[in-house]
Amino acid sequence: MGFSASVSLVWFHRDLRLQDNPALANALASGAPVIALYIHDPMTQWAPGGASRWYLHQSLLSLQNDLSAIGIPMIFRSGEPYEVLGELIRQINVNYVYWNQVIEPDRMVLDQRINSMLQGEGIAVENFPDDTLLPPSQVCKADGTPFKVFTPFWRHVQRQLQTVDFSQRLIGAPASAKAVIDYDPNSIEKLRLLDANPWHEKLHNHWQPGENANLNRLSGFLTKRINGYGHNRDFPAQEATSGLSAALHFGEISVVRVYDLCQNLLNHETNPVTRNDIHRFLAEIGWREFARHVLVANPQTHSLSMNPKFDHPGMWESDAQDSILHSWQRGQTGVALVDAGMRELWETGRMHNRVRMVVASYLTKNLGIHWLKGARWFWETLVDADLASNTLGWQWVAGCGVGAAPYYRIFNPELQAKKFDPRGEYLRRWLGDELAPPSLIDLKAGRERALERYNQFIRA
């Protein structure tokens, strides 16, 4: 490998940025030469899906470029992180390892194992909980238990944030690092993030990965589209939301920076309508935060329903599930808004939030298919696939999660289309003039069957 001097290692996870990066800033402050590392583990239960891997690949290339411009080489490794790091510290003379934690249960357990291993080898370790505004360990109800309802959670977090000093986390991008000698470049291709079949080329039309592109997107959103966000965000034909979910998932921009910029706007904004828009946007950032806190408090819920009654096999329809699931995945259900949403997802790797709710409600309630099958499809096809937000979203719609929509509330996709796409622009964009296939099921009959199942298995 050829690193002779002792180095500080910055292990990047979901913090693919230079600015506001406590791990990177502290590594640079150590005075030793800095090397950046990324480990991709394809074998974990929720390893990134196809669309997400495409974004990750592009984002890592951008990060590698930005780091190289300030003299920091980046190495890529594939495998189980505990083993990869164990092997790496035998090859390189590492004195310190720094990283920003991912706030997900399995990652947090792994972090502890790796911390002990590195410390056992005499290597100093520093972790920073930078993926959320506040670490889950600092947020609980008066009785010491975790919040289960969003509104009191967010009120509590906002109150606490008034006294938090973010100056340690709002950090300018570093100008340069002490050079590393004997650097062997290592190609990102080793990670094999991209499928051999180039289906993902089309995603370039819809996403701009990388820190700088997304800092620009953030400032563009906050100067223009934030006005009217509170109302317009529900209309899928409009480009009214920030489009920052993938950037926030991969940490190309920090959630603290987003929060701080919104606070600055609020400090100067006097128009009550715009103030409301900013608060509405912040509340969505709050949902992201809530999703992480909920997953940490309920670590199995990425695969099990929070309300175990929902995992009773009788709760879900089993007849011909696979072909019905396939029709849903391909946007061939005969229900216009559902099909439009599923095609948007397949084509672009994104789906508007309101449409996500509608397609998820249709799958779990009208079709009676387990939410996990929908969550898995989203995982494979969403560019912004995020374990905490996806789990929360699916369990919320299915009615089995915390603060969930009542399970007996079933979206009517036709009414939703009339209300939120009144001129049919969104439907035309994704369905064109195509004749709709015959409807998979009668919406009303599917709804009634769902209510019967709820009476039998949930209410009982």
Residues that bind ligand FAD (CB under 6 A): 233, 241-245, 248-249, 284-285, 287-288, 291, 353, 356-357, 360, 378, 382, 384-386, 389-390, 392-394, 397
243/331 with CB nearer ligand FAD: 243
397/441 with CB nearer ligand FAD: 397
59/389 with CB nearer ligand FAD: 389
Q: Among all residues, whose Cβ is closest to ligand FAD? A: 393
- Residue 148's nearest CA partner among 385, 400, 458 is 400
* Catalytic pick among 54, 371, 377, 430: 371
Residue 95: both structure tokens together: 């004195």
Contact assessment for residue 338 and residue 359, using Cβ atoms and an 8 Å cutoff: yes
Q: Judge whether 232 counts as a catalytic residue.
A: no
Please, what is the end-to-end C-alpha distance for the chain in angstroms? Answer: 63
CB 51 → ligand FAD: shortest distance, Å? 11
96/150 with CB nearer ligand FAD: 150
CB 281 → ligand FAD: shortest distance, Å? 6
- DSSP assignment of 91-147: HS-EEEEEEEPP-SHHHHHHHHHHHHHHHHTT-EEEEE--SSSS-GGG---TTSPPP
- DSSP assignment of 251-276: TSS-HHHHHHHHHHHHHH---HHHHH
* Catalytic pick among 316, 328, 396, 430: 316
CB 148 → ligand FAD: shortest distance, Å? 15
The burial of 79, by beta-carbon neighbours within 10 Å (0-12 exposed, 13-18 middle, 19 or more buried), is given as middle
CB 423 → ligand FAD: shortest distance, Å? 21
* Catalytic pick among 99, 346, 379, 394: 394
CB 178 → ligand FAD: shortest distance, Å? 35
**What span, in angstroms and rounded, lies between the C-alpha atoms of 163 and 134?**
12
- The SS3 assignment for 65 reads helix
Q: Judge whether 396 counts as a catalytic residue.
A: no
Q: Judge whether 284 counts as a catalytic residue.
A: yes
Contact assessment for residue 303 and residue 311, using Cβ atoms and an 8 Å cutoff: no
- DSSP assignment of 364-409: IIIS---HHHHHHHHHHH-TT--HHHHHHHHHHHHT-STTPPPTT-
CB 457 → ligand FAD: shortest distance, Å? 22
Amino acid at 72: I
191/285 with CB nearer ligand FAD: 285
- Residue 11's nearest CA partner among 90, 91, 72 is 72
Q: Judge whether 46 counts as a catalytic residue.
A: no
- Residue 102's nearest CA partner among 55, 46, 145 is 46
- Residue 420's nearest CA partner among 430, 432, 431, 412 is 412
73/243 with CB nearer ligand FAD: 243
- The SS3 assignment for 363 reads helix
* Catalytic pick among 80, 269, 284, 380: 284
CB 358 → ligand FAD: shortest distance, Å? 9
12/378 with CB nearer ligand FAD: 378
Catalytic residues: 284, 287, 316, 353, 371, 394
